[in-house]
DNA sequence: ACTAGCGGGACGACCCGTTTGT
DNA sequence: ACAAACGGGTCGTCCCGCTAGT
């Protein structure tokens, strides 16, 4: 073992992990798996199919992921990262920084994304449907995403002077979840007015300049 | 009675179907499968386990259900029937026929049911997560349930003189879906105030006598 | 036990057997099974399908046939009986009783029967392909048929003054088997000239009165 | 060599296919299956037994053959290849190139092979008995073998100055099929004189140089 | 004599996630 | 990076018994 200090050793390990995470083979596997898991479900997609479509060898796969569950976890974490990036983009957008407008933009985006025919609902909800154990790492990652989203709502609402940011944030989470389910299971078109109406009723009438 | 008349023959067929549906073996299978499917997911539960816990022979199972999918469909249909019975019970309750109170009772019930530690979310949403093909019989049954619920909301809202029953019904469906997801994935306690608040914002302030 | 003499008891048993053999349920089973076995093969057709298509209960089936093999045996025996009836019809036909003409008629009939699109080859050969054990009752029944046919040829050839009826009968059996295989596996049309030519070469030129 | 040229890429694919075909595991599977299929029939032999006797893992089997039918097809194709090799050996034999002698040698060989107690008839006929659909790949491979044999006979007969090679070839195919059936289902001993007699009658008297 | 249904256990083909040699 | 191995799992079908009812 290296005589380095724990910190250094951790840094070394991190660097190795980064190098592995950046491996093109690993990226291909994760991207292929993400697309398949989202489109068809986790249990329905086998390892063999993933490695075949990602064009990597089985050994390579197991070099990067100790087991299928780890891949599922990576898939969920990737989705989390992806959502966060989008949200941050929406926050940084129009210059001024009107938090209420940011909220509306986020939900408008979700409504539009849900209208995509390939939309299959919320990846977190779908994965959770296949992982009943709340202590499972995958479920913990999902819980992290939910906590993050709830906190994001809370911060935006506080900045928008909502009288009860905690409670309203909870309502917006309900809206988010309901919206993804609805876009997946029902006709996703013509949902914008419903969402706008809901936001108005929940946030109160728009502040008239 | 003559076996020649169509009515008699249809009645005979119905009777046969009823007898089969009422078969104790079939009931045992369906109940066992319902519990397992709900608690662990469809793909995660194998036929062998179902027949073992239901204590029926494999041949008996396949006598009643041509394939696993048919059992899943029966499971979903059973849940649908179950939900309908509950809703009807809530409609027929005391307090004359105040539709707004019925709505509140329904959502209050859902919130309480969601607090059960065994609550695993909406069975329809969870099954849909494992059945990507919207044309699949299982998905069609799920769609029927959603149409029924949306219509139920619409009728109650119209009876409660909601100014836009269609749109508000859509919002209540969002609330329902969001609520089940939330009860499953987050801390389900202390949700009653959030739901009550949401209903007030969505339905407008309670009519003060 | 009945105090009757063995002979009487045997007669009683025979009568009972006849009664059972004549049972309409049994007939339906045997006919259904014969059609299915011939068209799709023995192993490929399950008991359940036979009883379903014959519209009898499983217990009824097992009342008449101790096991599937017994049904297969009955199927083969039925085919044997059928072939014998046809041959006897051909022998008794045109009055005079020209044995050479009878031979030609038999092979002509086989050629025509083989041209039927539903023709699936010789049932005995096909069943034997699925029963490797020559001591199996089914195989014994098949052997009986072959012995009968060979003897029939021999008798007709002797009556037709063939110089070597034994050997020529063997050749005609080769022809029969080859013919059924050919009709099944190759284009069965335009086979008549080949058969006529073969018969001429085998039987020698037709006796010119 | 550049991987861009079609030829090289084709060669690579071929090499890969060859490597797979030459895999010892695959060879063991095919040889075991061939022996079992021939001796007991296709439907009567299960995958589990094949992989047990071939000492390969199930996954290995399914790595080489997508399904059992593919293995059956490989078995039939192997038999075809085998027959062709034998025939070519008989054509290239001593006695210069007398085509009539080659024909006689071929049928003599068949008669002798048929006398082997392990002889179970023609593999093609037996497999066809279990595959009723003439469009099935297995049946197509069988049809190829028959076309090849018929053509081989035709070419030899033409070279032997037969007056009607087409028709006589058809007769020899009848003889071939009849012979295999007979060797399987009847007493296969003392068949040589019958075959020799048949050939004489069919080919005409031997050319007395 | 016939039916409907249930039970039973072995076996059918095929796929699972995972590990190892090379 | 590939092939092979592994053992248990998937869903579904096999043939056959048995009971209860008519």
Mean pLDDT within B155-169: 93
What is the spatial distance, in angstroms and rounded to an integer, between the CA atom of A75 and the C1' atom of F6?
A: 28
Q: Which residue, among B178, B187, B201, would best test binding to A if mutated, counting the most A CBs under 10 Å from its CB?
A: B178
* Inter-CA distances, A57 with A50, C142, D51, Å: 10, 55, 25
Sequence-ordered list of residues with C-beta below 8 angstroms from that of C78, at least 6 positions apart, any chain: C30, C34
From chain A, pick out residues whose CB is under 8 angstroms from the CB of B149: none
Of residues D129, D143, D186, nearest to C146 (C-beta): D186
CA distances from A55 to A29, A34, A50, A59, B155 (A): 8, 15, 8, 12, 54
- Strand E-proximal residues of B, range 11-40, CB below 7 A, are 16, 19-20, 23-26
- pLDDT attached to residue D4: 39
Nearest residue of chain C to residue D40 (CA atoms): C132
**A66-101 confidence digits (pLDDT tens):** 999 999 999 999 999 999 999 988 887 665 678 888
Across the interface, which of A43, A167, A182 has its CB nearest the CB of B43? A43
The C-alpha R_g of chain B, in whole angstroms, comes to 20
pLDDT digits (tens, 9 = 90+) for C93-130: 665 678 888 999 999 999 999 999 999 999 999 999 99
Q: What is the pLDDT of residues C139-168, one digit of tens each?
A: 999 999 999 999 999 999 999 999 999 999
Asked if the Cβ of residue D59 lies within 7 A of any atom of strand E, the reply is yes
**Which of C170, C149, C179 lies closest to C82, judged by CA?**
C149
CA B203 to chain centre: 24
Mean pLDDT of chain C: 87
CB-CB under 8 Å, D174 with C198: yes
- The pLDDT value recorded for residue A98 is 84
Chain D residues with CB inside 8 Å of C128's CB?
Answer: 121, 184-185
Q: From the centroid of its chain, how far is CA A27? A: 18
Contact C41 D125 (CB under 8 A): no
Contact flag D125-C128 (C-beta cutoff 8 Å): no
Cα-Cα-Cα-Cα dihedral sign, residues B152, B158, B159, B163? positive
Candidates D44, D120, D184; nearest CB to C43: D44
Top-confidence residue, C22 or B139: B139
CA nearest to A118 within chain B:
B132
Model pLDDT, residue B135: 95
Q: Which run of H or of E encompasses D85? A: helix D68-91
Chain A contact present for B177, CB below 8 A? yes
B 47-86 residues, CB < 7 A, strand E: 55-60, 63-64
Residues 26-55 of C, Cβ under 7 A from nucleic strand E:
26, 55
- Chain A contact present for B13, CB below 8 A: no
pLDDT at B59 over 80: yes
C63 touches strand E (CB under 7 A): yes
CA B29 / C1′ E12 distance in Å: 24
What pLDDT shows up at residue D93? 67
Residue B129 forms contact with A (CB below 8 Å): yes
Distance CA B133, CA B84 (A): 25
How far is A11 from A17, CA to CA, in rounded Å? 10
What is the C-alpha separation between C51 and C54, in angstroms, rounded?
5
Long-range contacts of A166-172 (CB under 8 A, 24+ apart): A167/B193, A167/B194, A167/B197, A168/A202, A168/A203, A170/B182, A170/B191, A170/B194, A171/A202, A171/B194, A171/B197, A171/B198, A171/B201, A172/A103, A172/A107, A172/A202
Is C58's CB less than 7 Å from nucleic acid strand E?
A: yes
What pLDDT is stored for residue A92 in this prediction? Answer: 75
Pull the structure tokens for residue C176.
């029969």
Angle ∠(A172,A108,B149) on CA atoms, nearest 5: 60
Which letter does DSSP use for residue D113 in this model? H
From the C1' of E6, which residue's alpha carbon is nearest?
B60
pLDDT score of A17: 52
pLDDT tens digits, chain D, 209 residues: what are they? 333 344 444 444 445 555 556 688 899 999 999 999 999 999 999 999 999 999 999 999 999 999 999 999 999 999 999 999 999 888 876 666 788 889 999 999 999 999 999 999 999 999 999 999 999 999 999 999 999 999 999 999 999 999 999 999 999 999 999 999 999 999 988 899 999 999 998 987 554 44
Please state, in angstroms and rounded to a whole number, the distance separating the CA atoms of residues D116 and D183: 9
* Per-residue model confidence as pLDDT tens digits over D21-36: 668 889 999 999 999 9
């Amino acid at each position: 073992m290296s005589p380095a200090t724990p910190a250094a050793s951790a840094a070394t390990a991190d660097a190795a992990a980064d190098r592995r995470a950046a491996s093109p083979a690993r990226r291909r596997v994760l991207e292929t798996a993400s697309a398949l898991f989202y489109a068809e479900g986790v249990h329905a997609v086998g390892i063999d199919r993933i490695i075949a479509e990602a064009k990597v060898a089985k050994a390579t796969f197991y070099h990067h992921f100790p087991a299928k569950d780890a891949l599922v976890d990576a898939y969920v974490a990737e989705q989390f990262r992806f959502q966060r990036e989008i949200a941050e983009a929406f926050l940084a957008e129009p210059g001024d920084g009107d938090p209420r407008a940011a909220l509306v933009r986020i939900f408008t985006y979700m409504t539009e994304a849900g209208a995509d025919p390939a939309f299959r609902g919320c990846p977190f909800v779908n994965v959770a449907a296949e992982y009943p154990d709340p202590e499972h790492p995958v479920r913990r990652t999902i819980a992290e995403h939910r906590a993050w989203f709830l906190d994001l709502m809370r911060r935006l609402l506080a900045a928008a002077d909502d009288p009860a940011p905690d409670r309203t944030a909870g309502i917006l989470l309900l809206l988010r979840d309901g919206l993804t389910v609805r876009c997946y299971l029902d006709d996703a078109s013509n949902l914008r007015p419903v969402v706008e109406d809901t936001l108005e009723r929940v946030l109160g009438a728009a502040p008239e300049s």
